[in-house]
């Protein structure tokens, strides 16, 4: 496995296997670490992944955590950037730094309100126009990660 680009995608209790599979592929393509936090809505054993066509899973740097506090304790200097439609700062206005942990909530509920309220300055949003309520989790992860890579000059 090649050295990781210093970005991290954090999924809090992902529920839908294809979303996590797409994000794993994104992480593999960008050498980004994927952190899976809390109870998953699916199994990541070899049989389940092969059935879903995720034969590249062994190439992804995936780390598992009981909860967000455990992940933060393991990375005391880490900067955690939360994504939510309730964020006040657009992702294009936010200044990403190498090493950022890009945190996404579960598909049906997003991130907990208390977490967002306690981290307003580091909560970003992807602008959505019209009557669409939200973007697909894997789409949102790709948008935010590639903006972070662009800002830090990692796309050349």
> What are the chain's domains?
8-152 (3.40.1280.10)
Q: What is the pLDDT of residues 146-156, one digit of tens each?
A: 999 999 999 98
The number of helix segments (H) and strand segments (E) in the chain equals 5, 7
Whole-angstrom Cα distance, residue 15 to residue 107? 6
Is the pLDDT assigned to residue 101 strictly greater than 60?
yes
DSSP letter for each residue of 82-111: EE-TT-SEETTTS---TT-EEEE-BTTTBS
Question: pLDDT (tens digit, 9 = 90+) per residue, 20-55?
Answer: 988 998 999 999 999 999 999 888 775 665 555 567
**What is the model's pTM?**
0.92
CB within 8 A of 106, min separation 6: which ones? Answer: 12, 13, 14, 15, 41
């Amino acid at each position: 496995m090649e050295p990781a680009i210093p970005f991290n995608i954090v999924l809090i209790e992902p529920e839908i296997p294809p979303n996590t599979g797409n994000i794993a592929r994104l992480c593999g393509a960008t050498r980004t670490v994927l952190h899976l936090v809390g109870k998953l809505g699916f199994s990541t054993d070899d049989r389940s992944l092969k059935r879903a066509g995720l034969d590249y899973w062994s190439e992804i740097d995936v780390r598992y955590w009981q909860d967000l506090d455990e992940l933060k304790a393991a990375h005391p200097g880490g900067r955690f950037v939360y994504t939510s439609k309730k964020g006040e700062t657009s992702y294009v206005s936010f200044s990403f730094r190498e090493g950022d942990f890009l945190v996404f909530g579960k598909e049906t509920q997003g991130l907990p309100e208390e977490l967002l309220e306690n981290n307003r300055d580091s909560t970003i949003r992807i602008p959505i126009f019209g009557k669409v309520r939200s973007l697909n989790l894997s789409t949102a992860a790709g948008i935010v990660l590639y903006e972070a890579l662009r800002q830090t000059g990692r796309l050349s």
